[in-house]
């Protein structure tokens, strides 16, 4: 804070923090970038155009997009119910939302195997309907849905709490019905939170590894997502392919999260400015 | 009373359940059912069998390795997270904005990619890895230091991001008063600043611990899968599932879930007891 008073102690602490983060976070990221491009750009591009990688990437994207859509609709609904409704068992509902954060991804995959596997509790149901869940895409979808469940809800709860109820009341007084109020009054206030929650969910879904490995089995061309492709490439010592896919997946996730973060900040400053402006004009009117 | 609410919220009876029922169903089916099934499966042969399964040498070693590497990570993370947050809030220096932006990187990077990055930096064929192993005798990859590094990477934001807002809101007048009364900067930190930060530090640390014991992607690449040496509990569970060792997989899974829940419960209790004032 005080620039004049910053003695050697302050510089020592700054040095420690910078060194620590450099060695812990920046060094490994640089190692990945340097290592992947060691032989130039061409091998990287070549390894990203193979059929195996394209299939894996397309499966990842399909699963992640479906998960984002469902999480957006149901997550917003759950957040709404938790903020606006009061009922018995609500605190239990609120308490279990964070469970996916605490369960190991491997255990998530295993739980789904116990449900849908050959000796699973729901196996009779599967035999009847003929829908394969274990070692198939539907199981991987469920696993991804489980691990990414808290993001949207946790993002939307404070957003819904901060909604301006005066506006809803006003719209209602002016005769707007529930749908009109939702789309014209509530939804615009939810938008930036929704985008941020969707982005976090997307990044988490694309990066999921342990759970989809256990429930999907990682069969090339069938149940192999991008992370499983990276893992198989590592094990088969096709390093350049593993590194290239890692760079692509890592940089994509980082870019979308930072873009969404910037958007959210932008929205927040605009809202804050709007509030100041409102109070300013209100004050002018009073005077 | 009801008429004070906007028209669309004055709904009665079944209309409330249009949103409420699917929400309860969604969370119940997605979260509670799998949890109940795994607990039922693990306890189906009795508690004694569960205890026996987790005390088998390979399982026991995997659990112990997971616990001590996670605990060591938590300790380092608490200290370094505190320093980093303090530096970022209280000091101005070139590159501060960049540093602040880097903190969240571990949250965005998939954990498997984290593992790949660490192997590329410390791997036995890489320059740094070779230097450390031949000149200093330190093995990082396929050894416990690699596990701790991977866990430190993935959980770094938890402590920092817990402390930062508290430190920002801290009343500077108290510190000024202490300084005026002749306290040096160490005394001011320990007597005024630190007590306010204890809670967020504990919170962030417990969070990172519960996150670490279940970590798989980063650890499996860095540690490999060597039973009795570098196999962690999550990796052991994967092996048990693949070799059809259902009892072993269920037992270790339940233990992992129980520890994580206990830690989260502790966080909540601490928050309730001391967080109010």
pLDDT of residue A244: 95
Chain A touched by B35 (CB under 8 Å): yes
Task: Give the count of alpha carbons within 13 A of A127, CB side only.
Answer: 8
pLDDT tens track of chain B, all 277 residues? 444 555 555 555 677 788 889 999 999 999 999 999 999 998 888 899 999 999 999 999 999 999 999 999 999 999 999 999 999 998 999 989 899 989 989 999 999 999 999 999 998 888 788 788 888 888 889 999 999 999 999 999 999 999 999 998 887 888 888 888 888 878 888 888 888 899 999 999 999 999 999 999 999 999 988 889 999 999 999 999 999 999 999 999 999 999 999 998 898 888 888 765 4
Give the closest residue to B217 by CA, choosing from A150, A250, A112, A53: A250
Chain A touched by B86 (CB under 8 Å): yes
Structural domains in chain B (count) = 2
B23 and B63 share one domain: no
CB atoms within 10 A of CB A287: 5
Question: Tell me: the pLDDT tens digits for A4-51?
Answer: 456 888 899 999 999 999 999 999 999 999 999 988 899 999 999 999
DSSP states along chain B: -GGGS-GGG---THHHHHHHHHHHHHHIIIIIHHHHHHHHHHHTT-HHHHHHHHTSHHHHHHHHHHHHHHHHHHHHHHHHHHHHHHHHHH---TTHHHHHHHTTHHHHS-HHHHHHHHHHHHSTTSHHHHHHHHHS----TTSHHHHHHHHHHHHHHHHHHHHHHHHHHS-HHHHHHHHHTT--HHHHIIIIIHHHHHHHHHHHHHHHHHHHHT--HHHHHHH---TTTT--HHHHHHHHHHTT-HHHHHHHHHHHHHHHHHHHHHHHHHHHHHS--
The whole-model pTM stands at 0.90
Query: B233 lies in a domain?
Result: yes
B147 and B52 share one domain: yes
| Closest chain B residue to the Cα of A203, Cα to Cα | B108
Quote the tokens at residue A55.
Answer: 């299939």
Question: Tell me: the pLDDT tens digits for A67-111?
Answer: 999 999 999 999 999 999 888 888 888 888 989 988 999 999 999
Domain A46-286 superfamily per CATH: MetI-like (1.10.3720.10)
Residue spans per domain, chain A = 1-36, 46-286
Query: B8 lies in a domain?
Result: no
| Closest chain A residue to the Cα of B32, Cα to Cα | A96
A222 close to A51: Cβ distance less than 8 angstroms: no
Partner residue facing B31 (CB), from A96, A121, A227: A96
Partner residue facing B260 (CB), from A3, A26, A102: A102
Chain B touched by A16 (CB under 8 Å): yes
**Whole-Å CA distances, B258 to A102, A177, B160:** 10, 47, 26
B99 and B38 share one domain: no
B17 and B147 share one domain: no
Chain B touched by A125 (CB under 8 Å): no
The range of the structural domain enclosing residue B36 comes to 13-44
Shortest distance between the Cα of B227 and any Cα of chain A, in A, equals 17
B39 and B117 share one domain: no
Question: Tell me: the pLDDT tens digits for A165-221?
Answer: 888 889 988 888 888 888 889 999 999 899 999 999 999 999 999 999 999 998 888
Contacts of B54 (CB under 8 A, 6+ apart): B60, B63, B251, B252, B255
Contacts of B11 in chain A (CB under 8 A): 178
| Closest chain A residue to the Cα of B87, Cα to Cα | A14
Partner residue facing B41 (CB), from A28, A99, A114: A114
pLDDT of residue B148: 97
Query: B160 lies in a domain?
Result: yes
pLDDT of residue B137: 83
Chain A touched by B103 (CB under 8 Å): yes
A117-121, A278-282, B164-168: range with highest mean pLDDT:
B164-168
ipTM of the complex as predicted: 0.89
B79 and B201 share one domain: yes
Query: B6 lies in a domain?
Result: no
């Amino acid at each position: 804070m005080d620039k004049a008073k910053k003695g050697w102690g302050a510089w020592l602490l700054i040095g420690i923090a910078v060194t620590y983060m450099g060695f812990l976070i920046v060094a490994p990221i640089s190692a990945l970038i340097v290592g992947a491009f060691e032989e130039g750009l061409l091998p990287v591009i070549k390894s990203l155009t193979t059929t195996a990688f394209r299939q894996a990437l397309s499966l990842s994207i399909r699963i992640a997009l479906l998960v984002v859509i469902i999480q957006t609709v149901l997550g917003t609904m759950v957040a709404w119910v938790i903020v606006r409704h009061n009922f018995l068992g609500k605190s239990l509902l609120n308490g279990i939302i964070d469970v996916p954060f605490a369960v190991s991804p491997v255990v998530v995959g295993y739980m789904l195997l116990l449900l849908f596997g050959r000796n699973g509790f729901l196996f009779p149901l599967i035999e009847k309907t003929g829908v394969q869940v274990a070692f198939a895409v539907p199981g991987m979808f469920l696993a991804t849905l489980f691990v990414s469940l808290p993001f949207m809800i946790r993002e939307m709860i404070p957003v819904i709490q901060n909604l301006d109820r005066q506006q809803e009341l006003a719209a209602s007084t002016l005769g707007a019905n529930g749908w009109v109020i939702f789309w014209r009054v509530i939804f615009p206030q939810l938008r930036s939170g929704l985008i941020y929650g969707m982005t976090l969910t997307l990044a988490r879904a694309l990066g999921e590894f342990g759970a989809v490995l256990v429930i999907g089995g990682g069969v090339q061309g069938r149940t192999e997502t991008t992370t499983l492709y990276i893992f198989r490439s590592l094990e088969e010592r096709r390093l350049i392919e593993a590194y290239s896919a890692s760079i692509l997946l890592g940089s994509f996730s980082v870019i979308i999260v930072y873009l969404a973060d910037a958007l959210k900040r932008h929205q927040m400053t605009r809202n804050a400015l709007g509030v100041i402006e409102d109070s300013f004009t209100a004050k002018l009117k009073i005077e | 009373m009801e008429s004070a609410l906007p028209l669309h919220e004055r709904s009665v009876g079944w209309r409330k359940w249009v949103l409420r029922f699917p929400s309860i169903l969604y969370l119940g089916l997605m979260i509670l059912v799998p949890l109940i099934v795994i607990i039922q499966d693990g306890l189906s042969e009795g508690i004694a069998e569960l205890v026996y399964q987790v005390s088998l040498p390979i399982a026991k070693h995997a659990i112990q390795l997971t616990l001590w590497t996670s605990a060591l990570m938590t300790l380092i993370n608490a200290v370094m997270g505190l320093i980093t947050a303090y530096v970022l809030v209280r000091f101005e220096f070139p590159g501060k904005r960049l540093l602040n932006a880097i903190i969240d990187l571990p949250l965005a990077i998939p954990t498997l990619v984290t593992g790949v990055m660490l192997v590329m930096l410390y791997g036995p064929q890489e320059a740094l890895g070779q230097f450390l192993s031949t000149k200093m005798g330190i093995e990082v990859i396929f050894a416990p230091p690699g596990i701790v590094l991977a866990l430190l990477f993935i959980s770094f934001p938890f402590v920092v991001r817990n402390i930062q807002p508290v430190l920002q809101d801290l009343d500077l007048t108290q510190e000024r008063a202490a300084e005026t009364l002749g306290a040096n900067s160490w005394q001011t930190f320990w007597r005024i600043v630190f007590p306010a930060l204890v809670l967020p530090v504990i919170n962030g640390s417990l969070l990172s611990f519960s996150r670490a014991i279940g970590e798989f992607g980063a650890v499996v690449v860095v540690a490999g899968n060597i039973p009795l040496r570098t196999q962690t509990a999550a990796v052991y569970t994967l092996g048990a599932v693949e070799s059809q060792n259902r009892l072993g997989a269920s037992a270790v899974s339940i233990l992992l879930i129980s520890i994580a829940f206990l830690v989260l419960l502790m966080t909540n209790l601490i928050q309730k007891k001391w967080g109010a004032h």
